[in-house]
Each structure stands twice: as structure tokens, then as C-alpha cells.
Structure 1
Amino acid sequence: MVKLLTSAQTEIRLVSLHGTPDLQRAALLLRQIWGTRPGDDPPLPLDVMCALAHTGGYVGGAFLDGELVAVAAGFLASGETLHSHIAGVASHAQGRGIGLALKEHQRAWAAERGLNAISWTFDPLVRRNAYFNLDRLGATAVEYLPNFYGPMSDGINDGDVSDRLFVTWPVTPARVPAVEPETLAAAVPILEETGVPRHGGGAPSLRCATPPDIERLREDDPEAARRWRAALGDALGGALADGYRITGFTRSGWYLLARGGVA
């Protein structure tokens, strides 16, 4: 499948990747995006990527003016679902809609095969990913997975606990309602923007903050990053375990939650 998106300045070509040369380029790009050093575990081993592409899994790439700048890969899962295991966009190509275009390529690929949904995990502390996944795409957060992958040594996740949010995204597009300011104001905070936890007291709606840039914080203040990880796990993970559901995410970095997923 090939899809061309053109503007006055760029041309994005989206394709399913096949063949060892293209998959080698894809594996190298993922290592560059993740900042993987010699001796680190690769974000996705080349042999696994080759097996996925050969046996009916999804391996997609985005080319910007002929350069491979984004890669996503996934496998067929239960319940007529494509599980997107990994996706990344080169830093110099971000901000051009390439991540969104690649997700739409995944959605079209899944629809062609009669699948109902796409699932994936993401780090709930990474604010830009939470906003993209939950607000822009309209994915639904299903569960909080503490230390899902165990210790990781792939570059970007070194030395951090691998807590993840598991989300699903329907193949059939759905409208994402905007978060109203009064909805945010009415929600009781369970984790402040300072990283200080609060007790929600069983309120009907809650809000949970995230740090502005957890990746930079890991480098500049690892201890503060670890405190945020523990606090978010207790607050967000605890609320989900207590029957709340995530109903939205704001551009300013707040998760919104409600009892039973009703806003």
C-alpha cells in the first residue's frame, strides 16, 4: 500500500516495508530514535522485524522526500486486533504530521484485513504521547501495566521502571469530544503539577498531572524522575484499579478520570 500526502513543502510516502535492505534501514532508524548505544538492547531486533514482515505482521515506513523518517511495527493479536508494538519518528521530521499519517496507514492496513482495532502501550509519563494517543487519535486507555517490560536497556528507557498504559483504537473513526475548561476545573486533583500526590476522596471526577518533559527530567534529575514515576503509578494506576476510567487528556498535561468512564 502506498499513500502520498503532499503540501507545498513536503511529500510523505507511506508503505509497508519488505525485504532485508529496507528492514535494516528501519532497524537502524529505530536505534537512532531511541538513542541506542553499542551493547544496548535494540528497540526491535532486525530478525523479529523480518519475521513480522514475512509472516503477515505489520511493518510500515514513512518517507519524507525519499528519506525513511518513521517506522512502526506490530503483530496480529487476539480479538481481530493489530497490536502496534513500536513506532517512532526521527527528531528532524517531527511536527509535520508524520506520526498521525503513519497511524492512519496502520488503520487502513488493519481495515483491509478485516480487523476491528489497533492496540499499543505507551509510557503514561510522556505528556506529548498521552495527548497524541488519547486526544488527537481518540484511543481508549484500557489498563495500567506496572513495570510491563521489566528492566530495559534500549537507550531512551535506561534505568527507568517500564510502567505502561495499554490502549485500543477502533479501525472505524470516532469523534473525540473536546475537554471543556469547566470539566477540568471540577475534577479533584490526585497528583499536582508539582508531583505532590493528593487524595481524591472518591470524587466523581479526578485529574492527574504529568511532568512537562520526563525524558529531559531523567537526564537532569533522575531522582525527581523516579519520584514522578512512583507518584503517577500510585495515583493513576490506583485510580484505574479503583474503578475509574480515563476520559481525556489535556494539552496542559492532565489526565481526566471519571467513575466507570462516564464523564
Structure 2
Amino acid sequence: MLWTMAEHLTIRSIHGTAALERADRLLREVWRTSRGEDPPIPLDLMCAFAHTGGYVGGAFLDDELVGAAAGFLAAGRTLHSHVAGVSALARGRGVGRALKDHQRAWAAERGLDAVSWTFDPLVRRNAYFNLSRLGARVGAYLPDFYGPMSDGINDGGPSDRLFVTWPTQESPAPAPVSGDEGIDVVTGTGVVCAARNAPLLRCATPPDVESLRAADPRAARRWREALAEGLGGALERGYRVTGFTRSGWYLLARGGAA
């Protein structure tokens, strides 16, 4: 599959050792992986995905690779996107959205029902992109899903993740929400409140957890613990995430309400 978009942006599947090595170098740069650290995905695994019918896609501005993503076929007629990254020089130019759209179209061509992936629930920009712009649906809060991860992005602490799915059939993204309603479960200081049966809840996120990890690791860990108890606990009690605001709040409703 080949897509050509604005700004000379092309999204296409990647095959062959040389092209996959380019993708490996890009993802290492995005994750700021230094010598001796594990890359976000091993090169041999990307080669196996590409050769056996999995997904490996690249975003090219003219002939320069500026984004890459890789995933595998999963249960429930799903493409699971294991990793995706965009070069710092190309951010803000729609590359991440183009890669996701390419994954979704790739999955639909093969009769798959959805694309799934995980993301760090503390990273505000990713939560807004995934939930409010794409309209992905939160399936579960996964405590320490990958185990300790030490690289240029993660801090070696628990790797909590939200698991989301994005149907391949057309579905509108959630309507914009203000976030003014709902009882706070996690406040701006990361304190968990005791509201357990309110019909609406909201959970805050820090403005930039990656910078916070470097400047104040203890505060970042407190945020992790608070969000695990607040957001993770609410999902376990039957709440559903119904949106994410521009100001950084997860919105939740009790039961099946959306």
C-alpha cells in the first residue's frame, strides 16, 4: 500500500534489510536509545514482521524517512501496533496521524476489525491524540505491562499502559469536551480522592511527564502511583473512559455510558 499526501509525505510498507535498518536507526533516535540499551523493537523482529505478513510502515518526506511503525496480527482479528515513532524534525506536520491512518487502512484491506496499541497514560499529548483526535477506545489499564524499561524516554520504573482499540470501520472521534464536570479522582497534585460511586469522574495528568522525570523523579513516581490508583482503580470498578480534554483530564462515566 502506498499513500502520497501533502508536503510530499508518502506512507508505504517497508521491506528489505536496508530499509528496515533505516527504520531501526530512526526508532533508536526517537527513543534516544544509547549504546547498551534495548531498542524499542529489535531489528530482527521487524524483519520477521515484514517477512511473515505483519506490519512495518514508513513515512517519507521526499526520500527521507521521518516516521516508522511496526505491528503484528493479534487475536480478535486485530493488528496490534507495537511501536510507532516520528522524528523530532517532522513532529507537528501530521506524520503520526498519517501513520495511524495507514495502519488502519492496511488492517481494513486484510479484513481486520481493529488496530490496537498501548501507551503511557501519563503522557498527555499521546492521550489527547489517541482518545480525542483518533477516537480510540480504552480497553484496560495494564500495570507494569512491559516490566522496567530504561531508555531515553522511560525511567526504569513501572511501565503502566492503557490498552486501546481503534475500529477499522468509520467512527467519528469523540466530541470536544471541557472537563468541567465530574468528581476529581486525581487532582493536579496527584492526590487520589475517595469518590467511588459518582456517575462522572475525571483524572488529571501532568503537563509534561517526560521533563518531570528528569527534573523531579520522585514527583513523577507519585503521579504514576496516583494515576494507577485513580484511573486504573476506576476502570476496575466498571467506569469507562469517555474522553480526554485539552487541559489534560481523563473523563470517565460509570457503567456503559459513553
> With structure 2 as the length reference, what TM-score do the two structures score?
0.98
Percent identity over the alignment?
66
Question: Alignment partner for residue 12 of structure 1, among 9, 13, 22?
Answer: 9
2:136 to 135, 139, 151: 139
Q: CA deviation at 1:117?
A: 0.3
Deviation at 1:120, TM superposition (A): 0.4
Kindly state the Cα deviation for residue 127 of structure 1 after the two structures are TM-superposed. 0.2
Q: CA deviation at 1:193?
A: 1.5
Which residue of structure 2 aligns with residue 187 of structure 1?
Answer: 182
Question: Please, which of 225, 236, 239 is the counterpart of residue 234 of structure 2?
Answer: 239
Ranges in structure 2 where 5+ consecutive residues have no aligned partner: none
How far apart, in 2, do the equivalents of 1:208 and 1:52 lie?
37
Deviation at 1:201, TM superposition (A): 3.7
C-alpha distance after superposition, 1:134-156 (max 9, x if no partner): 00000000000000000112331
Asked if structure 2 preserves the Cα contact closer than 8 Å seen for 1:247 and 1:261, the reply is: no
2: distance between equivalents of 1:136 and 1:150?
29
Question: How many residues are matched?
Answer: 258
| SS of aligned partner of 2:68 | strand
Deviation at 1:244, TM superposition (A): 0.5
Determine the structure 1 residue equivalent to 2:123.
126
Q: Secondary structure at the match of 1:232?
A: helix
| Equivalent residue in structure 2 for 1:88, among 85, 96, 108 | 85
Q: Distance in 1 between matches of 2:177 and 2:206?
A: 21
Structure 2 SS opposite 1:251: coil
| TM-score (normalised: structure 1) | 0.96
The residue number in structure 1 matching 2:3 is 3
- The answer to whether the 8 A contact 1:130-1:249 is kept is yes
Contact 1:193 1:209 (8 Å CA) reproduced: yes
The one-letter amino acid of 2:215's match is: D
* Offset, 1:93: 0.4
Deviation at 1:200, TM superposition (A): 1.7
Q: CA deviation at 1:175?
A: 1.1
Give 2:160's aligned residue. Answer: 163
How do residues 77-116 of structure 1 correspond to structure 2 at under 5 angstroms? 77-116=74-113
- How do residues 192-231 of structure 1 correspond to structure 2 at under 5 angstroms? 192-231=187-226
Check if 1:31 corresponds to 2:21.
no
8 Å Cα contact 1:246/1:261 also seen in 2:
no
Are the counterparts in 2 of residues 40 and 155 from structure 1 also a CA contact under 8 Å? no
In the alignment, structure 1 segments of 5+ residues that lack a partner are: none
SS in 2 for 1:21: helix
**Correspondence for 1:255:** 250
Query: How far apart are residue 229 of structure 1 and its match?
Result: 0.4
Q: CA RMSD in A?
A: 1.0
Counterpart amino acid of 1:166?
F
| Cα separation, 1, equivalents of 2:198 and 2:228 | 19
